[in-house]
Structure 1
Amino acid sequence: MGASSSTGNPSPEAHEQREQETLASAALSLPLLRVAFSRSATAANALPDALAPPPASFRLPGSPPPPHFHDILAGLGPAIASQFFGHGAAAAPEGDAGWVPFLRGFNRCCARVPASHSLALLLRVYAGAGAPCGVQLQPDEDGKVAGELTPEEIAVFLWMCWVMAWSASASRVAGDGGEKSGPVAVLLPDVTHLVLSALVSAGAVADDAGVWGWDISSGGKGVKVQEFTSWVLSTPVGLGNCLSRYVRDRFRSLAADSVEQESSVSTVNTTFDTSDVYLLTRGRAWAIALSIRNKLSEKLLSASVIGMDTEDLLYRSSVHGKGLSRFWSRVEGYKGPMLILLSAFSKSGGENVDSDRRWVIGVLTEEGFESKDTFYGSSGFLCAAHPIFRMLPPSGKEKNFMYCHLHPQIRAYEANPNPVGLAFGGTIGNERIFLDEDFSRVLVRHHAVDKTYQHGSLIPNQGYLPVEASVLDVEVWGLGGEATKRQQNVYKKREDIFSEQRRKVDLKTFASWEDSPEKMMMDMMSDPNTVRREDR
C-alpha cells in the first residue's frame, strides 16, 4: 500500500517537471532540449552567446542602419537569457536543479499563447536589448507593455524581427566554402510599406495623401503600443511568432555538432545586393509571409531572406513581352499557387486619381490559371504592396477569385461577348481588378463591387470611381515548388508534340491531282447532282 501510494502521488517537484516537459515537448523535442541545456550550463555566457544572432554586418541600400542597431543585436541574446532564463552573470545550474527552471523559461517564450502576449514579450526583448524607445515595461509576469513607438523605432523593431528570421536561415544558406574572413554583409529589406501601414492604421498618417513620398527618416507622430498591437493582430499576424521561432532555432543550433555549426556559419554568403531588382522585393515577400497562415508562408519567408529562385519566375512582361497571349504561353499548365504582382501609375485628369504616381498591387492565388469565360477559384488574397502594405483575405461570401479569358480558337458571333483579359474579384463587367488583353491598361474598382475579397483600398486615394492606370510591369511567380514545375514542363512537351502533329502534312496524299481534295471540290461544283460512290 505504501509503495502504491508513493507511486500514485508524485512530489510537487516531479509533478511540475512532468508538466513543464509536456508543455515544452509540444514546441521542441525533449532530447534536443536536454542537449541544449547541458551545453548552456558549461559557462557563464554560454546561453546568452547561443541566443545571439550569427555575426553579420547589416546595412541599408545606400546608407548604414541606425547607429544603435548593431548594439541592439548584440544585446539580443543577453536580453532573452535574462528575461526568460534568469541568466545574468552566473551560469545555469547543472543537473535536475536547473532543468526545471530552464524549461520554465523556454515555455514562457515558446509555449503557445495569445498573439498579443507573444508580441508583448517580443517588445520587452526589444526594449531589454537596449533599444532607445518609448516602450514602458510593466513589472509583472504577464509581460504587459505600454508607451509609444516613433516611426524610426517601428522600423528598427521590424529590422530586428527580420534579422531573427534571417538567423534561422543563415546556417542553411550554402556558400563557396573556404576560410571565414569576418562577418558577412547583409542588406536589410525595405520596410517603409509596413511602417506606413502601421501609421495609417493608427491614424498618424493620412491614407490618401500622406503616403506619397513619405520617408522613415522624416519622423512624425508616434504610435501607441496598443495601436501597434492592434495593427499587428490585423495585418502582419506572424510577427508575434518571431521570438519563439528564433529561440527554437538557436537551441537547434546549440544542440547541433559544434564543428558542423562553425562550418555552416563560415560558409554563409548572403549579400543581397541583387535581390530587389524584381517587383517581388524581399521586404514585400516578408510582409506577405507575415500576413498569411498557410504553407505558402514558409516559401515567402525563405524568399525574404535569400531571395526568390529565378526558376520560379514564370512570367515577366519586361522580359517575355506584354499581352495575354505571351502571358498564357508562360503560365499554361502550371497547376499550383502563384503570386501576381502588377506595377502601374495612375493617369492624370481624374479628380479621384493621383497623377503619375507609381503603385504596386498583388494577387496570391491557390491554383493555376485556366482559360474560361466565367470566374473560378477556391481561394486567394489581394494585397497593396506599394507605397503602403495591406492584405485583403477572402470574405467567404462569393468565390469569384480569378478570371482568365482568351480569344476562342473557333470564333463565333456573340451578341454580348465576355471581356478578354485577367480579372480578380467582383463580377463580369464589374471586376475588382481587370487587366486588359494587351497588358497596357488596368482598371481598379472600389471594394463595394466585390464580395469575394474583404473591403479595403488597394491604391492610395482610390475613391469610389474606377481608377484606370497604365501598366508598367507584370510578374508571375510560381510557388508550387519543383514538382509543379516538372508537371508544367511535361504538359508543355505534350502540347508541343500535339501541335507538331497537327502541323504535319502527308505529302503522299497530295501527290496526284486525281486524289487531291481540290479536284473533288472542282468536280462537285461543276456537276453537284452526279451520283458518286466513295472508294473504299
Structure 2
Amino acid sequence: MGASSSTGNPSPEAHEQREQETLASAALSLPLLRVAFSRSATAANALPDALAPPPASFRLPGSPPPPPPPHFHDILAGLGPAIASQFFGHGAAAAPEGDAGWVPFLRGFNRCCARVPASHSLVLLLRVYAGAGAPCGVQLQPDEDGKVAGELTPEEIAVFLWMCWVMAWSASASRVAGDGGEKLGPVAVLLPDVTHLVLSALVSAGAVADDAGVWGWDISSGGKGVKVQEFTSWVQSTPVRLGNCLSRYVRDRFRSLAADSVEQESSVSTVNTTFDTSDVYLLTRGRAWAIALSIRNKLSEKLLSASVIGMDTEDLLYRSSVHGKGLSRFLSRVEGYKGPMLILLSAFSKSGGENVDSDRRWVIGVLTEEGFESKDTFYGSSGFLCAAHPIFRMLPPSGKEKNFMYCHLHPQIRAYEANPNPVGLAFGGTIGNERIFLDEDFSRVLVRHHAVDKTYQHGSLIPNQGYLPVEASVLDVEVWGLSGEATKRQQNVYKKREDIFSEQRRKVDLKTFASWEDSPEKMMMDMMSDPNTVRREDR
C-alpha cells in the first residue's frame, strides 16, 4: 500500500521523456544516443558538423571523369546544418547534457528516424534537399512537416539521387584523424551513373516517351520537368526504399559520432582504395543501387554495399566473355550454388543487317531466389525481372503463376522424344511462350510481350518492344552470387564431389579384361567356332 501511494502519477515531462525514449529505442539504442548527444552538445556547431558527410572529391563516370554540377558540393556542405536546423532546432546542438536538452534531442531524432509512411519520409528528404541550398523548384510549406510542391528538372532529379547515394556512402566512410590530430584530405569518389533512374522517373511522369526518346538521352540535355507529386508516385512504385535514406543516414552519423577514433580509422582504411574504381562489369554501381532501392528483402543490403564499394570479384560466378558462351559452360559455373543470384544480359536487337549501334544496346536482369539445375520444367519460388539500361524498371512477381525459371540441357544419354522441350534458359511465361528465352549457345535471346506471362508483373523490358517477340543478339552474360562465402564454399564442395564422380566414370577397370576366359574376344571366338551352329553346305 505504501509503495503504490509513494510513486504517484509521473509528471508530464517524465511521461514525454519515457515516450520519446521508447520511440527512439526502436531506431537506435539509447546508450548510443546518449553518447552521441553528449558529444554533440559540446559546441554550437557540433551537431551540424556531426551530421555532415565526410569530405570527398566527387567525380562523374567518364573518361576523363567530369566534375558534378557546381552547386553539388554546396548542397553536401549544407546537408548537416539543414538536418540540424529542421529536426533538432536552432540552439539544440548547444544544449547542455541532461534532461533539459535530452528530450528535444530525442524529438528531433524521432521526427526524422521514427517509422512513418513512405510518402512522408520522402517529403522530409525533399525538405532537406531544398533546405541544403539546392537551386530547385521545390516549394516548402510553412509548417514544419508539411507537404512540398513544385517541379524538378532532370538535372535536379539527378543531383537529388546523387545526394541520396552520398548518404549511403557516408555509412562506409568517416573523418579520419591523423597522428597529429589533423584531418586527412578528401578521398576520391566516383558517383554512380543514375541516367537510367532519371529516365525512369521522366517516363513514369510522361515527360519522355518510352520508345525512341530514351536512346542517346543525356541528363545535361535538359527537357521537361516532373511535378513533385509525380516524382513521389514514381518513388513509391520503383525505388521504394529511397525515402529511408534520411533516417538511415542520421543513424549512421550518430553511430560514427559515438564510435571511437580507432574504430573510425579502421573502417575507412578498408574502403578508400575502392572508391575511385570504375565500372567494368554489367553490374555497375548505379544498377546495383537501383535494384537495392527497388526490393524489400535481405538482398537489398548486399546490393547497397555493392553500389558503394563495388561487388567482390569472388561473387562473380559466370561471365560469358571470360568463361565462354553456352548453357553447358553456364551450368559448369553456377551449378551447385544454392542461393540467390543476379543474372544480367546485354544484347542488341537485329535490324535489317545494319551495323551495330553501340547506343542501342540494352541490358536486362533477373534476380532469382535459388540456384539453377537442369530440368525440363519450370521451377523456382520467387524472382524479379528488371530493365537495367537504358531505362530502369523493376518487375516483381505477380503471384498468379510460379514459372520463375527454366534451365534445360540435353542429357548425356539421349532418348527419342516426340515433342522435345526447348533447350536453353528461360524466365516467365510457359514452355514455348517464355517471357525471356536464351538459346543453348547464348547467342540469341527472345523477349516476348508481357501478355504471355502471368508469373511476373506487366511492363516492357526493352524500348520499342511492342506486341511481337523481339529477337536480339547476345553480347555478354553475367551471373553474380548474392549469398556470401558460406554458399560459395558449399558450391566448391559440390564441384569437388562431382569431379570425383566424373573421374570414376571415365576410368576403365582393366582387371575384368585380364583373363582370356572372361574376355569378350574369347566369347566371340566361341560363338564362331561352335559346331552346333548351322553352316552353309559346301558344294
- Fold match, TM over 0.5? yes
Structure 1 CA distance, aligned partners of 2:306 and 2:128? 26
- Is contact 1:279–1:341 with CA below 8 Å preserved after alignment? yes
Moved more, 474-483 or 511-520: 511-520
In structure 2, the residue matched to 1:248 is 251
Structure 2 CA distance, aligned partners of 1:274 and 1:259? 26
Report the CA distance between 1:499 and its aligned residue. 1.0
- Is contact 1:138–1:144 with CA below 8 Å preserved after alignment? yes
Moved more, 280-289 or 354-363: 354-363
* 1:446 maps to which of 449, 467, 487: 449
Report the CA distance between 1:515 and its aligned residue. 2.3
Report the CA distance between 1:170 and its aligned residue. 2.2
Moved more, 480-489 or 526-535: 526-535
- Is contact 1:177–1:267 with CA below 8 Å preserved after alignment? no
Report the CA distance between 1:4 and its aligned residue. 3.5
TM-score, with length taken from structure 1:
0.94
- Is contact 1:421–1:437 with CA below 8 Å preserved after alignment? yes
Structure 1 CA distance, aligned partners of 2:23 and 2:459? 40
Three-state SS of the structure 1 residue aligned to 2:179 is coil
Q: Per-residue CA shift, 1:80-118, capped at 9, x if unaligned?
A: 000000035961343110100000000000000000000
- Is contact 1:173–1:269 with CA below 8 Å preserved after alignment? no
Report the CA distance between 1:273 and its aligned residue. 4.4
- Is contact 1:175–1:269 with CA below 8 Å preserved after alignment? no
Change (3 A) 1:396 1:48: same
Structure 2 CA distance, aligned partners of 1:112 and 1:360? 35
Report the CA distance between 1:266 and its aligned residue. 6.1
Change (3 A) 1:362 1:503: same
Report the CA distance between 1:357 and its aligned residue. 1.8
Change (3 A) 1:203 1:270: farther
Structure 1 CA distance, aligned partners of 2:439 and 2:431? 13
Change (3 A) 1:424 1:518: farther
In structure 1, the residue matched to 2:54 is 54
Change (3 A) 1:422 1:534: farther
- Is contact 1:338–1:478 with CA below 8 Å preserved after alignment? yes
Structure 2 CA distance, aligned partners of 1:173 and 1:474? 40
Report the CA distance between 1:251 and its aligned residue. 0.5
- Is contact 2:140–2:147 with CA below 8 Å preserved after alignment? yes
Structure 1 CA distance, aligned partners of 2:118 and 2:45? 30
Report the CA distance between 1:503 and its aligned residue. 1.4
Structure 1 CA distance, aligned partners of 2:180 and 2:529? 82
- Is contact 1:178–1:267 with CA below 8 Å preserved after alignment? no
- Is contact 2:47–2:93 with CA below 8 Å preserved after alignment? no
Three-state SS of the structure 1 residue aligned to 2:241 is helix
In structure 2, the residue matched to 1:102 is 105
Q: Per-residue CA shift, 1:431-464, capped at 9, x if unaligned?
A: 0000000000000000000000000000001000
Change (3 A) 1:56 1:504: same
- Is contact 2:435–2:450 with CA below 8 Å preserved after alignment? yes
Three-state SS of the structure 1 residue aligned to 2:83 is helix
What is the total number of aligned residue pairs between the two structures? Answer: 536
Moved more, 95-104 or 176-185: 176-185
Three-state SS of the structure 2 residue aligned to 1:68 is helix
Three-state SS of the structure 1 residue aligned to 2:343 is strand
Report the CA distance between 1:304 and its aligned residue. 0.3
Change (3 A) 1:266 1:401: closer
Return 5+ residue gaps in structure 2 as ranges.
none
Report the CA distance between 1:348 and its aligned residue. 0.5
Change (3 A) 1:353 1:446: farther
Moved more, 116-125 or 252-261: 252-261
Structure 1 CA distance, aligned partners of 2:223 and 2:478? 34
Change (3 A) 1:107 1:525: farther
Change (3 A) 1:177 1:332: farther
Change (3 A) 1:355 1:45: closer
Three-state SS of the structure 1 residue aligned to 2:17 is helix
Q: Is 2:40 aligned against 1:37?
A: no
Moved more, 56-65 or 9-18: 56-65
Structure 1 CA distance, aligned partners of 2:62 and 2:49? 31
Moved more, 170-179 or 157-166: 170-179
Change (3 A) 1:535 1:500: farther
* 1:339 maps to which of 339, 342, 346: 342
- Cα RMSD after superposing both structures: 4.2
Moved more, 448-457 or 513-522: 513-522
- Is contact 2:176–2:264 with CA below 8 Å preserved after alignment? no
Q: Per-residue CA shift, 1:202-234, capped at 9, x if unaligned?
A: 000000111000000000000000000000000
Q: Per-residue CA shift, 1:273-301, capped at 9, x if unaligned?
A: 44410000000000000000000000000
Change (3 A) 1:383 1:210: same
- Is contact 2:291–2:394 with CA below 8 Å preserved after alignment? yes
Three-state SS of the structure 2 residue aligned to 1:455 is coil
Report the CA distance between 1:512 and its aligned residue. 3.6
- Is contact 1:354–1:461 with CA below 8 Å preserved after alignment? no
Moved more, 86-95 or 211-220: 86-95
Structure 2 CA distance, aligned partners of 1:101 and 1:509? 88
Structure 1 CA distance, aligned partners of 2:309 and 2:76? 20
Report the CA distance between 1:529 and its aligned residue. 8.2
Structure 2 CA distance, aligned partners of 1:133 and 1:534? 109
Q: Is 2:198 aligned against 1:199?
A: no
Structure 1 CA distance, aligned partners of 2:179 and 2:62? 26
Change (3 A) 1:83 1:172: closer
Report the CA distance between 1:262 and its aligned residue. 4.7
In structure 1, the residue matched to 2:27 is 27
Moved more, 388-397 or 6-15: 6-15
Change (3 A) 1:90 1:342: closer
- Is contact 1:81–1:88 with CA below 8 Å preserved after alignment? no
Structure 2 CA distance, aligned partners of 1:472 and 1:174? 47
Return 5+ residue gaps in structure 1 as ranges.
none
Q: Per-residue CA shift, 1:467-503, capped at 9, x if unaligned?
A: 0000000000011110100000000000111111111
Report the CA distance between 1:67 and its aligned residue. 0.5
Report the CA distance between 1:263 and its aligned residue. 5.4
Report the CA distance between 1:174 and its aligned residue. 15
Change (3 A) 1:416 1:43: same
Change (3 A) 1:521 1:528: farther
Moved more, 216-225 or 344-353: 344-353
Report the CA distance between 1:182 and its aligned residue. 1.1
Identity among equivalent positions (%) equals: 99
Report the CA distance between 1:18 and its aligned residue. 0.5
- Is contact 1:115–1:233 with CA below 8 Å preserved after alignment? yes
Report the CA distance between 1:370 and its aligned residue. 1.2
Three-state SS of the structure 1 residue aligned to 2:345 is strand
Moved more, 144-153 or 58-67: 58-67
Three-state SS of the structure 2 residue aligned to 1:475 is strand
Three-state SS of the structure 2 residue aligned to 1:83 is helix
Structure 1 runs (4+) deviating above 6 angstroms are 172-180, 350-356, 528-536
Structure 2 CA distance, aligned partners of 1:166 and 1:50? 15
Change (3 A) 1:291 1:530: farther
Report the CA distance between 1:6 and its aligned residue. 6.0
Structure 2 CA distance, aligned partners of 1:279 and 1:22? 45
Change (3 A) 1:179 1:520: farther
Structure 2 CA distance, aligned partners of 1:48 and 1:354? 49
Change (3 A) 1:517 1:208: same
Q: Per-residue CA shift, 1:386-420, capped at 9, x if unaligned?
A: 00000000000000000000011221111110000
Q: Per-residue CA shift, 1:297-324, capped at 9, x if unaligned?
A: 0000000000000000000000000001
Change (3 A) 1:495 1:267: closer
Structure 2 CA distance, aligned partners of 1:40 and 1:108? 18
Report the CA distance between 1:531 and its aligned residue. 16
Report the CA distance between 1:5 and its aligned residue. 4.9
Three-state SS of the structure 2 residue aligned to 1:461 is coil
Q: Per-residue CA shift, 1:136-160, capped at 9, x if unaligned?
A: 1111133311110000000000000
- Is contact 2:271–2:309 with CA below 8 Å preserved after alignment? no
Moved more, 442-451 or 517-526: 517-526
Structure 2 CA distance, aligned partners of 1:185 and 1:49? 21
Structure 1 CA distance, aligned partners of 2:164 and 2:320? 33
Three-state SS of the structure 2 residue aligned to 1:414 is coil
